[in-house]
Chains A and B, each alone.
Chain A
Amino acid sequence: MKKIFSIMLIFVMLSFALTSCKNNENELVVITMWHVYGGQTDSPLNNLIDEFNSTVGAEQGIFVRVDAVSNSNNIHKGILSSVNNEPGAGKLPDIFASYPKTILAMPDDNILVDYNDYFTDDELSAFVPAFLDEGKIGDRLLGLPVAKSTEIMFVNQTAFDRFSAETGVKVSDMYTWDGLFDVSKQYTNWSDSKTPETLNDGKSLLAHDYHFNYFQVGVESLNENFFTENSLNFSKTFGNVWQPYADAVLNGGVWLKGGYATEPLRTGDAIVSVASSASVLYYSNKVTYPDNTTETVEFTAHPVPTFENGEPLVMQRGVGMYTVKSTPEKEKAAVAFLKWLTEPEINTKFVTKAGYMPVTSESFDKYLAPAVETIDNPMYKELYKAFIKTQENYTFYNAPLHPNYLDLEMRFEEQIRYHFEAEKLNYLSTEGNISDEIISDSLDKFKKNYEN
């Protein structure tokens, strides 16, 4: 009798084992993702995700599905509207790419996976420590770096050469902020002189992605705190940083309209940008002018300008990957994908196609240099040359985890552009004669408006 029962038990267990095996084979764990790598262009990460899905993902029953490729601002808005349950907000993805500012603005960051639960100490020690730090909130590791970028100065060399040929200005003149702003004023005057029949139609030289970053890194590089406990430190040093900038802006040398710096360079409305190295993806070597004529141009890349008496400091950028808590299977699957993406060889392959820096020490030491050698695109070659110079000569600056960071940044970015659009109209009549008094007044007005 016992034998019969044993046989029956084995049958039942076998059947459960067999059916569960079959289920695992059939049902993929689908991971949804919002990322920033290649919004509106060919996405190098999407190609890698296809590779993952057809190889490692297929073996492990994981399918990563990209539901949105956009810029970090749009992902930031999308995530916050989802977590705040705003009407019409979409469902949170399993993995999203964002800056810590998004996490700080969340009502509850406990909805995110702590990577300490899924990575061993050995695995985490493979990452460049400074890159990991940005994703730490308290003792939790919520953001995982997969690619890091920094700010780079891109120059439409073809257009600059024309300007240079007539004025004698050199790119090296723009290696300091004072020099860059001075050149920008000269460029505006020079371009204005090209159409004597139309007054004040001089073009801007410089487009900056984040004016807030210029002030933040500038002030910090001059050994002054940029932030106070709740707001910004409008110190004397801030005034020193403001002075050359305001002078150039009021003279029309700096592009003030919203959007990313790549935009005016594409339409020929500016020829120099200070932007994320990752924006290399979005530059096209074609400039389209208002009469629909196009010009094929060459871009060069350089480390960002510094202040003559300041420390060479540069903003470290690049979103981290955040995983939303769900089921253990989904969390494991998401982490499996991220581990694959940060494997040194895969990571190097990814970052060199997207214009980023890899995130593990092994990638830097072993894979990056040979990978750069194989790059055909001259703009990417330029970028990596600038990367190397930046790494050699600059210190990376990490934005602090200030509780009001996002609010301060967005308010500053909007107000400074709006402020100078209005100021420009006021001082247009001064015909380029911008006095220190006018600049000082404009700072006072800005401070007053900002602090209200």
Chain B
Amino acid sequence: MFKKVLSAKKSNTSIRNRLNLYFSILVILILSVLILILGVNGVFSFYDKELESVLNSQLENSCYKIQEEMDVLAANSIALSEEITENVTSVLLEEGKNFDDLKDNPQLIYEIENRLYPNLNTTLKSSQCSGVFAILDTTINSNILNAENSKSGLYLRFVNLNAENPVHQSVVMFRGIADIARNENVELHNRWDLEFDSQNLTFYNDMIATNSNKLSESYIYCNRLKLTETWEEISLLSVPIFDNYGNVIGICGTELSKIYFKTNLPATESSYGKIMTILSPIEDDKIFVEDGMVGTTANVGIETLDFLTVEKGKHFNRYTSENENYIGIHEVINLPSENGKDFAVLTLIPESGYKLYVRKHNFLWILGSILFFLFSLVLVFLFSKKFVEPIKNSLKNLTETELSQCQQSGIQEFDELISVLQKKSQQDNNIPQEKNLPKNMDDLIVDFTKRVETLTPAEQSIFQYYIDGYDLKEIAELNFISISTAKKHNTNINKKLKTSSKEELMLYIELFRRCDCLDRISSKN
């Protein structure tokens, strides 16, 4: 380019090409400076910052929502535990029994479950949960197989987990005495059973053995587990139940099913794709997704993952797995777990979605720049054409018409040039010595010119042949005359021109040629 610019200076380049070149350089310079300024001002890392802001905002909302709901669930579970304590104590007092007498006493257990049903039903309908349960550390029949793990209690669940209004929801009994369900006009779950199997609740024994007698310090949110014999997965917020002496006699709490969690925490639309929310145990750089709950996603993959590994980043983190990677951020919330791990809320998007978005927008930037460049070039070509066109027209006008008849072009500089030329031409006409020759030479030329004008047309013709370089013989042939006639014309020519010989005549002709004045004596003009 630089070479071209230099060569443009030297070579015989048209004004238009020069203009095209200079303007193109200007456009490239402006574009480069623009990109540099945008780059320095962080426009190209804008996406990272924007995504960080979006993720932060989503995380803040999710954390607030989950924390608040978990706090309410914990409070409701604690209240349920206290009500159960009160009702169990009341029934035992009425019957003159103590808690140990419940074992192998179906009638007494029926009395207690019957009394507890309204408490559980009210808690279920007044809490943001999908089910509610109360397990008493006793059994209807201690003589059956696996009796040590069989525990009496009630477990009520909503039938349609997707409905958002708990007041009119149908309730189904998953565990408990069937007659209670029938009295309450509640259906039995298709996988109903009379009692709980404590082996399915990994935290049961630890909770029963708890030393703390403060309910607010004893609740836990358990890892995700499969609801026995169904396709559903749940998490339980569990609280111990104490008797009047502070002994643990069972556990109770609320259930959050996977579907309920999904509908409660829908994926949020963003420019980068759907942002999903996960509540999951975390330890060091590992997120145990298999033990947590996943909000609505449009992606089956993440729900089947065992864990995600966290790679910390400047604006956000990368969460890697064997299959797909995600980007997002997380925050630990205050939620006691069954195994001492923290619970974290994560807001994530698939990394592929983010990359695609950035690629798409970078592509648009590049495309925009190219289009801008092309558009500028088109303007350069158009402007240069517009600029040169009147000049070319004026030149054409000048060549096609007499200088004196040249019209105004509308271009100030060009019109001034024409004006100067016209003045010069006028001077030339008034002063024949227009050529810049020495005075004597000029006089000689003017005199000789005047003498040439005295030649007859025939002599003029012969003289012209001499100018054109023919010799006497050729001139005679070309004029269809005899050599003697030609010689006679020569004699007249010499006489009129005051030359003594052909050599002198030719000397004059040469002089005129060299002085670039041949046109004055040539009849060809």
Chain A positions near chain B (C-beta within 8 angstroms): 1, 4-5, 7-8, 11-12, 15, 18-19, 22, 25-28, 30, 34, 38-43, 46, 50, 53-54, 63, 65, 67-71, 74-75, 77-78, 81, 87-90, 257-260, 262-263, 266-267, 269, 281-282, 284, 288, 290-294
Contact = CB atoms under 8 A, between A and B. Distances in A.
B356 interface: yes
A53 B301 CA distance: 11
A257 B180 CA distance: 13
B298 A63 contact: yes
A259 B188 contact: yes
**Chief secondary structure at chain A's binding surface:** mixed
Contact of A282 (B168, B190, B194): B190
A39 B150 contact: no
B188 to A, nearest CB: 5
A258 B182 CA distance: 8
Given A15-B363, A288-B194, A87 B188 contact: no
A87 to B, nearest CB: 7
Given A88-B167, A267-B178, A40 B190 contact: yes
B360 A19 contact: yes
13 contacts: A1-B381, A7-B374, A11-B374, A15-B363, A15-B367, A26-B356, A40-B172, A41-B191, A68-B161, A263-B187, A266-B188, A288-B194, A291-B141
Given A8-B371, A67-B162, A292-B140, A284 B263 contact: no
Contacts of B194: 288, 290, 292
Given A8-B371, A11-B371, A12-B371, A19 B229 contact: no
Nearest to A12: B371
Nearest to B361: A19
Contact of B230 (A7, A18, A42, A269): A42
Contacts of B394: none
A41 B230 contact: yes
B182 A257 contact: yes
B162 A90 contact: yes
Contacts of B191: 40-41, 284
B370 interface: yes
A39 B371 CA distance: 58
B160 A74 contact: yes
B159 interface: yes
Nearest to B141: A292
A291 B364 contact: no
Given A41-B191, A65-B296, 17 more contacts: A1-B381, A4-B378, A12-B371, A19-B360, A19-B363, A26-B352, A42-B229, A54-B300, A68-B259, A81-B168, A87-B165, A89-B165, A263-B187, A282-B190, A290-B179, A291-B140, A292-B195
A258 B178 contact: no
A42 B226 CA distance: 11
A90 B164 contact: yes
A259 B164 CA distance: 23
B273 A88 contact: no
Contacts of A257: 182
Contacts of B367: 11, 15
A213 B353 CA distance: 53
Nearest to B165: A88
Nearest to B262: A67
Identify the 10 closest CB pairs spanning chains A and B, nearest first.
Answer: A88-B165, A68-B162, A282-B190, A40-B190, A259-B187, A292-B141, A292-B140, A267-B178, A263-B188, A15-B367
B263 A67 contact: yes
A25 B363 CA distance: 16
A391 B248 CA distance: 59
Contacts of B363: 15, 18-19
B374 A41 contact: no
B49 interface: no
A81 B163 CA distance: 10
Contacts of A291: 106, 140-141
Given A42-B231, A266-B192, A293 B160 contact: no
A288 B193 contact: yes
B162 A8 contact: no
Contacts of B492: none
Interface string B137-166: 001110010000010000000011111110
A38 B230 CA distance: 9
A78 B231 contact: no
Contacts of A68: 160-162, 259
Contacts of B484: none
Contact of A53 (B159, B300, B359, B364): B300
B185 interface: yes
Contacts of A5: 378
A257 B185 CA distance: 8
A74 B231 CA distance: 18
A437 B231 CA distance: 51
A292 B139 contact: yes
A43 B231 contact: yes
B51 interface: no
A132 to B, nearest CB: 29
Contacts of A19: 360, 363-364
A27 B165 CA distance: 31
Contacts of A12: 371
B231 A46 contact: yes
Contacts of A78: 160, 162-163
Contact of B190 (A4, A26, A30, A262): A262
A293 B378 CA distance: 91
Contacts of B188: 259, 263, 266-267
B272 to A, nearest CB: 10
A292 B150 contact: yes
A186 to B, nearest CB: 24
B125 to A, nearest CB: 12
Given A90-B164, A257-B182, A50 B300 contact: yes
Given A19-B360, A288-B193, A38 B374 contact: no
A426 B270 CA distance: 66
Contact of B298 (A30, A39, A284): A30
Contacts of B262: 67
B374 A74 contact: no
Given A34-B162, A78-B163, A292-B139, A26 B187 contact: no
B189 interface: yes
Nearest to A70: B160
A290 B106 contact: yes
Contacts of B187: 258-260, 263
A34 B259 CA distance: 12
B368 to A, nearest CB: 9
B150 to A, nearest CB: 7
Nearest to B350: A26
A69 B177 CA distance: 25
B170 A22 contact: no
Contact of A88 (B164, B263, B377): B164
B215 to A, nearest CB: 29
B159 A70 contact: yes
B265 to A, nearest CB: 13
Interface in B78-131: 106
Nearest to B186: A259
B458 to A, nearest CB: 60
Nearest to B300: A53
Contacts of B172: 40
